[in-house]
Amino acid sequence: MIDKVISRERAAEMIVDGSTIMIGGFMGCGNAHYVIEALVAREPKDLTLICNDAAKPGYGVGKLVEHRMIRRLIASHVGLNPMVAQQLHDGSLELELVPQGTLVERIRAFGAGLGGVLTPTGIGTPVEEGKRVIEIDGKKYLLETPLHADIALINGYNVDPYGNVWYKGTQRNFNYAMAMAATTVICEADHLVAPGTIPPEDVVTPGVFVDHIVQGGEL
């Protein structure tokens, strides 16, 4: 069996200046908190972050914004983190707001090998600007392109040494899609369990998609 378990520090070292990273989670639920802490200690700069939201100051991905490590943010919701607005105003942060369903579909599209997704969401709004509009049977759709990252940081409740992941409740959120849309996938495990502990039918993210595992813990 290949040993996929690495330290939090080693995981953080894989993210360098200019990296594009995906981090699963919804307002901190499902964030890889321990890897984020190790990342803050290193403070790589000019990162592109693809995430559902910017969380809150001092929590989860909000710490990356707080430490000005993010140059470009692709997200669906930033309203609970005033530091995003502050950095937008001073010009240190670029923001691409994407409707939540469109965001996860763009991520899923890369993992599925698709050239994009067609959605009516955003037609007739600023979301449409600069994008291709395709008409099918008299209805207009936006062509939304796939999203890919150098590194995906996901979080699972139970993870075995092979990298098979079971998510608890809504913890799965964006994690399952991001595990298929990055060159390297690092999974932070709330519980690192023995092989065979997770029933095959309960595996949501198969270990073939997970390159490295970090021992985390429930917060």
From 151, 148, 171, 144, select the one nearest 159 (Cα to Cα).
Answer: 171
CA distance 108 to 146: 8
Give the per-residue pLDDT at 29: 85
Helix, strand, coil % in the chain, rounded to nearest 5:
25, 30, 45
pLDDT in tens, the chain (219 residues): 678 999 999 999 999 999 999 999 998 888 999 999 999 999 999 999 999 999 999 999 999 999 999 999 999 999 899 999 999 999 999 999 999 999 999 999 999 999 999 999 999 998 899 999 999 999 999 999 999 999 999 999 999 999 999 999 888 899 999 999 999 999 999 999 999 999 999 999 999 999 999 998 765
pLDDT at 171: 87
pLDDT at 218: 64
CB contact set of 135 (below 8 Å; sequence gap of 6+)? 141
List strand residue ranges (DSSP E) for 5-127, in order.
Answer: 5-6, 20-23, 47-50, 70-75, 94-97, 117-119
pTM of the model: 0.94
Residue-level pLDDT at 219: 57
Which element (helix H / strand E) includes 184? strand 182-192
Does residue 159 sit within a domain? Answer: yes
- CATH of residue 20's domain is 3.40.1080.10
Residue 126 placed within a domain: no
For residue 130, being part of any structural domain is answered with no
Query: pLDDT at position 127, please?
Result: 87
Question: Does 120 fall in a domain?
Answer: no
Does residue 140 belong to any structural domain of this protein?
no
Q: What is 113-126 written as a DSSP string?
A: T-S-EEE-TTTTSG
Task: Identify whether 60 is part of a domain.
Answer: yes
CA pair distance 188, 191, nearest whole angstrom: 9
Closest listed residue to residue 156, CA positions, set 35, 1, 15: 35
Could you tell me if residue 206 is inside a domain?
A: yes
Q: What is the pLDDT of residue 1?
A: 62
Cα(103)–Cα(24) distance, integer angstroms:
12
Number of domains in the chain: 1
Q: What is the domain extent for residue 196? A: 5-113+146-215
